[in-house]
Amino acid sequence: MELFDTHAHLTSAEMLPFARDAIDRAFASGVKTIVNICTDPTSLHHGLQISRPGIYTAGCTPPHDVETEGESAFPIFEQAAREGKLVAVGETGLEYFHPGLDRTLQRTFLIRYLHLAAELKKPVLFHCRDAFSDLFSIVDLEYPKDFPAMLHCFSGTPKEAEEVLKRGWMLSLSGIVTYKKNEQLREIAKTVPLNQLVLETDSPWLSPQSKRGKPNEPANLIETAECVAKAKGISLDALAAASTQTARQFFGV
């Protein structure tokens, strides 16, 4: 059995000190491929150093950081993307959950990263909280239809999941699907076609139920996979094979 963690922050400040040990534990547990999400120039620098077969790099400034780092970091991520060092552009998107963030600036950088991804024919990874209507509207206008996109760490409503899927995007489930009170998300998991379903940890955050309160890492993906397989009524092996194949095709690795 092989699993694919489509979204982990291996070289974030919180995880970098134990990243190499975490990678070893992931590989030993069956998580054979990880996409490392870099959100600033420092994490990108370290990410490119650890990148190798099985460990791939994606990056951009996420929406909650564009006010402080968006302009200075954009050319750095752009250069990495143009040099073929990134397998995807992201996580870009919209963050409306936290008050006080500049929504206009978030939308501006979302469009810039969408155009970069489209020009380079790179998949794009979305972060979205409390902003699905604006995200759908902007992407429909600014990103070519049927170009590859993934909604990372989905936690929305059934209607929002339907909108994600009808656009042909991948829908990624994280450890939050395992939380005891998250029955709605497990119901959504049942409806996601296997060719649009992928898994992630969002390490070092969002540890699955049995590890809550502890730093997350890619080896914990197995618990999320078991939960999703149970919700869909299929074997763990079947889910692992399908989600890994879907992720490989999406990222082209």
Q: Is 153 left (phi over 0), alpha (psi -120 to 50) or beta?
A: left
Report the pLDDT value the prediction gives residue 250, as an integer from 0 to 100. 98
- Burial label for 117, CB within 10 Å (0-12, 13-18, 19+), is buried
| 10-residue stretch averages of pLDDT, the chain, 253 residues long | 97 97 98 98 98 97 97 98 98 96 98 98 98 98 97 97 98 98 97 98 98 97 98 98 98 97
Query: How many beta carbons lie within 10 A of that of residue 14, not counting itself?
Result: 13
**Alpha-carbon gap, residue 151 to 122, rounded angstroms:** 15
CATH code, residues 3-251: 3.20.20.140
| SS percent in the chain: helix, strand, coil, step 5 | 50, 15, 30
**What φ, ψ does residue 198 adopt, rounded to 5°?**
-135, 170
Instruction: Quote the DSSP letter at residue 52.
Output: B
Domain boundaries, the chain: 3-251
Q: What is each CA distance from 88 to 33, 54, 66, 81, 120, in whole angstroms?
A: 14, 15, 18, 8, 10
Helix (H, G, I), strand (E, B) or coil at 68: helix
Inter-residue contact 235 to 43 (CB < 8 Å): no
Q: What is the pLDDT of residue 187?
A: 98
